[in-house]
Amino acid sequence: MSHAIIAKNVSISYGSNKVINSANFVIDEEDFVCVVGANGSGKSTLIKAILGLIKPDSGKIIFENNNKRKSIGFLPQDTKTDMIFPATVIEIVLSGTLGQLGMKAFYRKENKDRAEKSLRRLNILGLKNSSFSSLSGGQKQKVLLARALAATSKILILDEPSNNLDYKSRKEFYNELKELNKSGLTIIMITHDLDAEDLIGNKIINIKESKVECYSTSDYLESFK
């Protein structure tokens, strides 16, 4: 399988605190990677480095096979899912296509088609004109996933997406992610849940005391037995 992202000796510090120490890993195309580790272990820091939001002190993150940093679909942690924000679903999903809009002031037909395609893919096209604030937690998370899908057709990064979801919504959301992965999307997901049913990917990146280790999910789960 061809590589999507390669991390070579990546180290990141906040002041004198080294969060990531010489990380080396490979993420292949169509991998589903779960990033695990204790609170404050550096999971979000590693993701931010992949997204280019922070620069590593040393080492580099390489994108291969026409994968580009700017065309990653991202679902951040703590998006304003709980606050009243006046926006329709289509306004939010369209903002996922802004990276493709360049310097143009108004969305084009291709942006609108792409946003609708993302909504259709997640079976929520019917919510297109609904107010985001009126949706349930699970529906809101699906809308944000649709926005991330509108930004990418290759790599999806999710930062603790199941945080505000109840058990049923979380299971549905994970099933959706598995389907997207099967359709060819590379997925990197931070999770703080260490139950076997939350580790739904084929690979695990575990961050512990600034050390980054990569396992197959079966090997990782085996190590707990």
Partner 1 sequence: MNWLFEMLSYTFIERALVVGILISICAALVGVSLVLRKNSMIGDGLSHATFGAFAIATALNLTPLWFAIPIVIAASFFVLKLSNSKKANGDALIALLSASSLAIGTIAISLTKGVNIDLNSYLFGSILSIGWSDVWLSLALTIIVILLYVFTHNCIFAITFDEDFAKAIGIKTNIYDAIFATICSLVVVFGMRLLGALLISSLIIFPTLIAMQFSKSFKHVVIHSVLISVINFVLGLTISYLITSPTGATVVIVNLVVLIISYIIHKVILGKN
Binding site for partner 1 (CB under 8 A): 51, 53, 70, 72, 74-77, 79-80, 84-88, 91-92, 94-96, 98-99, 101, 105-107, 131, 133-134, 147, 151
As to burial, measured by CB atoms within 10 angstroms (0-12 exposed, 13-18 middle, 19+ buried), residue 185 is: buried
Which CB, 106 or 167, lies closer to partner 1?
106
Identify the H or E element spanning 204.
Answer: strand 203-208
User: What whole-number distance in Å separates Cα of residue 71 and Cα of residue 33?
Assistant: 18
Which CB, 44 or 162, lies closer to partner 1?
44
User: What whole-number distance in Å separates Cα of residue 128 and Cα of residue 132?
Assistant: 9
As to burial, measured by CB atoms within 10 angstroms (0-12 exposed, 13-18 middle, 19+ buried), residue 195 is: exposed
Which CB, 162 or 206, lies closer to partner 1?
162
User: What whole-number distance in Å separates Cα of residue 37 and Cα of residue 206?
Assistant: 6
We find the least distance from the C-beta atom of residue 213 to partner 1, in angstroms, to be 25
We find the least distance from the C-beta atom of residue 217 to partner 1, in angstroms, to be 26
Which CB, 91 or 213, lies closer to partner 1?
91
We find the least distance from the C-beta atom of residue 62 to partner 1, in angstroms, to be 18
SS3 123: coil
Which CB, 44 or 181, lies closer to partner 1?
44
We find the least distance from the C-beta atom of residue 153 to partner 1, in angstroms, to be 14
- Please report, as a single letter, which amino acid is at residue 163: N
User: What whole-number distance in Å separates Cα of residue 39 and Cα of residue 205?
Assistant: 15
We find the least distance from the C-beta atom of residue 4 to partner 1, in angstroms, to be 17
User: What whole-number distance in Å separates Cα of residue 218 and Cα of residue 84?
Assistant: 42
We find the least distance from the C-beta atom of residue 149 to partner 1, in angstroms, to be 13
Q: Which residue's entry shows tokens 């919510």?
A: 127
Which CB, 7 or 92, lies closer to partner 1?
92
